[in-house]
Amino acid sequence: MEFWVPALCALLLAAVSLPAMAQTACPVGATPGSVVCGPDPVAAQSQGPSVPFQRLDGYGAMAWSADAGLTYTETRNGGEGTDRAVVNGAMEYCRSAGNSDCVIKLTWENACAAAATKPLNGQRQWVGITARTEFGARRAIRRACEELPGDGQCKINRVYCRKQESGYFNDY
């Protein structure tokens, strides 16, 4: 009999110390484990995201200055502007930095976007893409940059997916 008491206590302690994987994000009246329930938000945060971060809902634009070798970007979340507003914002950032050769190279709506450069004959070639996810944008920009002529190394400048951001980023 003395053997069963410690064994039972050890089994009970082991069962209590296991992480709980319950579905607690259920609507009122729903049975835990049903289709309408989601995972426990606390457990989901501790494990990190299980899928790549999805696209930004809104607009974005990238202006390029070849003389400066810089890309100037403006993004706006949905409801905070229009495609015209982000184009004007990107151009304003580029021109306010003293550049006279600003050109809009990429615009997007409800997508992720990425830009990269690759040297050729002392000049930087620019390439930009859009994709549905951050992972897709990173994969596509690497592929697009590798396809550019030249023997220099591709530089992925930035991938925009997550939040409103404005400003410029440097290629060098």
Handedness of CA 30, 34, 38, 42 (dihedral sign): positive
What does the pLDDT read at residue 82?
Answer: 72
Q: The tokens 């982000």 sit on which residue?
A: 86
Token digits for 100? Answer: 């006279």
Q: Does an H or E element contain 155, and which?
A: strand 155-160
* pLDDT tops 80 at residue 11: no
Question: In terms of Cα–Cα distance, which of 58, 76, 52, 57 is closest to 133?
Answer: 52
At 132 the three-state DSSP class reads coil
Token digits for 53? Answer: 């971060």
User: CA-to-CA distance for 23 and 43, rounded, in angstroms?
Assistant: 10
- For 30-97, the DSSP string reads PPTTSTT-B--HHHHHHH--SS--B--SEEEEEEEETTTTEEEEEEEETTS--HHHHHHHHHHHHHHT
In Å, how far are 63, 140, 160 from 157, measured between CA atoms? 13, 13, 10
Contacts of 107 (CB under 8 A, 6+ apart): 59, 60, 61, 62, 83, 86, 87
What does the pLDDT read at residue 52?
Answer: 45
Which amino acid is it at 135?
F
Q: Where are the domains of the chain?
A: 58-161
Q: What is the pLDDT of residues 35-57, one digit of tens each?
A: 555 555 444 444 444 444 455 57
* pLDDT tops 90 at residue 111: no
Q: What is the pLDDT of residues 65-109, one digit of tens each?
A: 999 988 899 888 766 667 788 999 999 999 999 999 999 999 988
